[in-house]
Protein backbone atom coordinates (compact mmCIF):
# COMPACT_ATOMS: atom_id res chain seq x y z
CA UNK A 1 0.00 0.00 0.00
CA UNK A 2 1.40 3.41 -0.99
CA UNK A 3 0.10 5.67 1.78
CA UNK A 4 1.27 8.90 0.18
CA UNK A 5 -0.41 8.08 -3.14
CA UNK A 6 -3.62 7.13 -1.31
CA UNK A 7 -3.51 10.37 0.70
CA UNK A 8 -3.11 12.39 -2.49
CA UNK A 9 -6.01 10.51 -4.12
CA UNK A 10 -8.15 11.09 -1.01
CA UNK A 11 -7.33 14.80 -1.12
CA UNK A 12 -8.35 14.91 -4.77
CA UNK A 13 -11.61 13.07 -3.98
CA UNK A 14 -12.37 15.47 -1.14
CA UNK A 15 -11.59 18.58 -3.20
CA UNK A 16 -13.74 17.40 -6.12
CA UNK A 17 -16.77 16.80 -3.91
CA UNK A 18 -16.51 13.11 -2.97
CA UNK A 19 -15.90 13.15 0.80
CA UNK A 20 -17.18 9.58 1.23
CA UNK A 21 -14.63 8.35 -1.31
CA UNK A 22 -11.94 10.30 0.49
CA UNK A 23 -12.94 8.76 3.84
CA UNK A 24 -12.72 5.23 2.41
CA UNK A 25 -9.13 5.92 1.35
CA UNK A 26 -8.16 7.73 4.55
CA UNK A 27 -9.41 5.21 7.12
CA UNK A 28 -6.61 2.65 6.49
CA UNK A 29 -4.03 5.45 6.45
CA UNK A 30 -5.16 6.63 9.89
CA UNK A 31 -4.88 3.06 11.15
CA UNK A 32 -1.35 2.77 9.72
CA UNK A 33 -0.25 6.22 10.92
CA UNK A 34 -2.41 7.22 13.92
CA UNK A 35 -0.10 10.10 14.84
CA UNK A 36 -0.45 11.85 11.48
CA UNK A 37 -2.60 14.86 12.28
CA UNK A 38 -2.97 15.95 8.63
CA UNK A 39 -4.57 12.65 7.71
CA UNK A 40 -6.82 12.68 10.81
CA UNK A 41 -7.96 16.23 10.04
CA UNK A 42 -8.82 15.44 6.42
CA UNK A 43 -10.69 12.32 7.54
CA UNK A 44 -12.66 14.35 10.08
CA UNK A 45 -13.55 16.88 7.38
CA UNK A 46 -14.56 14.06 5.04
CA UNK A 47 -16.83 12.53 7.72
CA UNK A 48 -18.35 15.94 8.41
CA UNK A 49 -19.10 16.61 4.74
CA UNK A 50 -20.26 13.11 3.82
CA UNK A 51 -23.94 13.01 2.93
CA UNK A 52 -26.15 11.18 5.39
CA UNK A 53 -27.51 9.13 2.46
CA UNK A 54 -24.32 7.05 2.55
CA UNK A 55 -25.50 5.63 5.87
CA UNK A 56 -25.50 6.88 9.43
CA UNK A 57 -22.76 4.59 10.69
CA UNK A 58 -19.05 4.61 9.99
CA UNK A 59 -16.20 2.47 11.28
CA UNK A 60 -13.29 4.37 12.73
CA UNK A 61 -10.38 3.81 15.04
CA UNK A 62 -10.93 4.92 18.60
CA UNK A 63 -8.84 8.01 19.36
CA UNK A 64 -7.70 6.89 22.79
CA UNK A 65 -7.18 3.14 22.49
CA UNK A 66 -6.58 2.47 18.81
CA UNK A 67 -9.31 -0.18 18.86
CA UNK A 68 -12.00 -0.25 16.21
CA UNK A 69 -15.50 0.82 17.09
CA UNK A 70 -18.63 1.42 15.06
CA UNK A 71 -19.98 4.90 15.71
CA UNK A 72 -21.84 7.64 13.95
CA UNK A 73 -19.73 9.96 11.81
CA UNK A 74 -20.36 12.82 14.22
CA UNK A 75 -19.30 10.76 17.24
CA UNK A 76 -16.22 9.53 15.39
CA UNK A 77 -15.28 13.07 14.44
CA UNK A 78 -15.85 14.32 17.97
CA UNK A 79 -13.89 11.43 19.49
CA UNK A 80 -10.90 12.20 17.29
CA UNK A 81 -10.79 15.82 18.41
CA UNK A 82 -11.69 15.44 22.07
CA UNK A 83 -8.83 13.06 22.94
Per residue in 30-43, pLDDT (tens digit) is: 999 999 999 999 99
Pairing of strands 57-61, 68-72: antiparallel
Q: What is the mean pLDDT of residues 33-61?
A: 77
Instruction: Tell me which of 72 and 52 has the higher pLDDT.
Output: 52
**CA distances to 3, 4, 50, 69, 79 from 33, in Å:** 9, 11, 22, 17, 17
Q: ∠ CA 55-15-39 to the nearest 5 degrees?
A: 75
**What does the pLDDT read at residue 76?**
55
**Model confidence at 54, in pLDDT bands (50, 70, 90)?**
very low
Which pTM does this prediction carry?
0.63
Amino acid sequence: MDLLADYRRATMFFETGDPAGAARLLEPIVEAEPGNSSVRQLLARAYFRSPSSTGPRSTCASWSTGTRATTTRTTCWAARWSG
